[in-house]
Amino acid sequence: MNEAIRMVPLEHYIWLSAILFAIGVIGVLTRRNVIIIFMSVELMLNSVNLLLTAFSSYHSDPAGQVFVFFIMAVAAAEVAVGLAIIVMIYRNIHSIDINDLNKLKG
């Protein structure tokens, strides 16, 4: 497994991450279910994580992987709070359609 790095050009990791990020953006733009939008955001975070790890491995610098570790920690906290907000919204308006959330404005 040691020769696995540097056999695949670094560009291919960039393309892969760009494609995954674009799929996440498309998911946010085309869906109305709040939970699926949330999952698309997770997909975007993961594509960035993958790219950071690739750069870290190709440049033999552990700082990139520590960043990924922190991003995972923040993502876990974000998901816990975000899902709690979604549950509260559903309990109040019985819908998770983002078009209903414009009623939040005063």
Partner 1 sequence: MSISQSLFYFLAFCSIFFAILVVSAKNPVHSVLYLILTFFSIAGQYILLNAQFLAVVHVIVYAGAIMVLFLFVLMLLNLNAESEPQKSGILKFAGVIAGGMLLVVLVASLKNADAIQPKLAPNNQIGLVASLGKELFTNFLLPFEVSSILFLIAMIGAVVLAKKESGRLDYKIED
Question: Is 3 one of the binding residues for partner 1 (CB under 8 A)?
Answer: yes
Is residue 43 within 8 Å of residue 20, measured between CB atoms?
Answer: yes
Site residues for partner 1, 19-38, by CB under 8 A, read: 19-27, 29-33, 35-36, 38
Question: Hey, what are 72's tokens?
Answer: 């995972």
Nearest to 47 by CA among 76, 72, 24, 29: 24
> Least Å distance between CB 106 and partner 1?
14
Nearer to partner 1, 62 or 106 (CB): 62
Nearest to 43 by CA among 79, 12, 11: 79
Of the residues 41, 73, 105, 106, which one makes contact with partner 1 according to CB under 8 A: 73
Question: Is 105 one of the binding residues for partner 1 (CB under 8 A)?
Answer: no
